[in-house]
Amino acid sequence: MNQTLGQAYEVSNTSLAIRHRVLRNTYWLLSLSMIPTIFGAWVGVQIKFSLFASSPLFGILALMAIAFGFFYTIEKTKNSGWGVAVLLSFTFFMGLMLSRMISYTLGFSNGASLIMLAFGGTAGILATMATVATVSKRDFSGMSKWLFAGLLVIVVASIANIFLQMPALYLAISVIAIGIFSAYILYDVQQILNGGETNYISATLRIYLDVYNIFVNLLSLLGIFGGSRD
């Protein structure tokens, strides 16, 4: 019996060590992914990149096609070094997509400060949610259906607002998106800790998308309420 308990304890410790290693590698790769994102944004600003220049609807369709192409390729290569390369390529592309908003924000006299404030706010949300997910004994797995439903609502409302152009709806979408993607960080980090996600490349992709969307919507709100043209 003692031998059986010892083996169970050893298996438990091994499993815990694997989960912590996945989480550590995820944080490392998430940090690394910021480099191509920033570089992509800088390149996009320099060349005035925009998928939405000709048509907002075409831009949305092109973005979804490219993004899902990356998602498929990352999933197929996640167990090799190529997965890291494809993921970093995706984050460069997302940096390009961010450049339009960065250019607009830099048009404010306090634009650089707003960008840094959004970056700091996003980092604070990530640190807070990741800490809560790590130390809390609450099971957040039940949030998945509600979060996915909320995500669908945001996507549909965002597409609709391309045509409606309602400022109030735009503000509501941004606020709700920050809340939903913050909650997604809780869910995604706990999935790693509970063994629900064992691949650090897949885990990084999910948390990167959470962080990216929080930053975009936070920067948007800061631009609306704190941007100055003086």
Q: How many CA atoms lie within 13 A of 90 on its CB side?
A: 29
Question: How far is 161 from 163, CA to CA, in rounded Å?
Answer: 5
pLDDT band, residue 14 (cuts 50/70/90): low
pLDDT band, residue 230 (cuts 50/70/90): low
Give the tens place of pLDDT for each residue, 113-132. 999 999 999 999 999 999 99
Instruction: Give the domain ranges of the chain.
Output: 2-226
Question: How far is 152 from 117, CA to CA, in rounded Å?
Answer: 28
User: How many C-beta atoms lie closer than 10 Å to residue 218's C-beta?
Assistant: 23
Question: How far is 195 from 184, CA to CA, in rounded Å?
Answer: 16
**pTM confidence score:** 0.91
